[in-house]
Amino acid sequence: MAVKSKPFPAELTASRRLFVWAQIVIVLVLLEFALWASTTHMRNRWAVVAATTLIVLVAVNVLIDPSPRSSFARLGLGFPKAPGAGAVLGLGFAALLLMVIPVRWIGGQIPANPAWFPNLPSVWGYALWALMQEFILQSFFFNRFEELYGSSPAVWIASSLFAAVHLPSPVLTTATLIGALFFCEMFRRYRSLYPIALVHAMLGLAIGLVVPDSLLHHMRVGIGYLQY
């Protein structure tokens, strides 16, 4: 059963709205530093700062706000219900087939990047990274935009922001906009990160396998894409 969305914007005070916007801006700025700092060392340091800040802000919201908008279930950390998980996974597999079958039909190679063919540790590592990305996208950004503007607008706002973070990669920016619209809508309906993260991992690995690295640049974004 889908989680019923609540009209959060009607309940917000001016101070709460300012607090929510401050969280969004702070984390977004730190993420951009992590993507665009001039050296790998600095990018890694900013990534740690961004991740720590995000986790602290999520925890602070849970502690100071006992309402449903900051609950464990609303963060998407609860165990998924079977109908919701089935819907997400079924649509995800359909998208995977739509991605792979045309490549085979036109005679393309799978993988297009043989050196990228994932071993088991890299698959698990990417699956964990997909879960982390969905936590950032859904549990942090989507929830806050939902609180500010309501559920349906939050799907479009959070998805657009997620795509923009993947600039200047044309492939990943386009793919993440389409993917995030699906992920955010599924999160809005079913409120569980785990099936969404699994589909994210499957589709992300498929992109890495079927798209030539001359376009993907090892799936880098930010300054790493330009320095490839």
pLDDT higher than 60, residue 2: no
Give percent of the chain above pLDDT 90: 61
Query: 14-36 and 151-165 are packed helices; what angle lies between their axes, rounded to 10 degrees?
Result: 20
Among left, alpha and beta (phi > 0; psi -120 to 50; other), residue 192 is beta
* CA atoms within 13 Å, Cβ hemisphere of 177: 12
pLDDT digits (tens, 9 = 90+) for 83-131: 888 999 998 889 888 887 776 555 556 666 666 556 667 788 899 999 9
Q: How far is CA 57 from CA 53, 85, 173, 194, in A?
A: 6, 28, 27, 21
pLDDT band at 45; cut points 50, 70, 90: very high
More confident residue, 189 or 105: 189
Write the Ramachandran bin of 159: left for phi over 0, alpha for psi from -120 to 50, otherwise beta: alpha
Per-residue pLDDT at 4: 52
- Rounded to a whole number of angstroms, the CA Rg of the chain reads 18
Average pLDDT, whole number, for the chain? Answer: 88
Of 117-126, 135-144, 178-187, the one with minimum mean pLDDT is 117-126
Identify the residue with better confidence: 91 or 158: 158
**Percent with pLDDT over 70 in the chain:** 85
What integer pLDDT is reported at residue 76 of this predicted model?
93
Instruction: Confirm whether pTM is higher than 0.95.
Output: no
Over residues 32-53, the mean pLDDT reads: 97
Angle of the 40-64 helix axis to the 14-36 helix axis, nearest 10 = 160
Confidence of residue 189 (pLDDT cuts 50, 70, 90): very high
User: What pLDDT is attached to residue 120?
Assistant: 62
Q: What is the pLDDT of residue 5?
A: 52
Beta carbons of 178 and 95 less than 8 angstroms apart: no
Chain CA centroid to CA 208, Å = 17
pLDDT for 187 beyond 60: yes
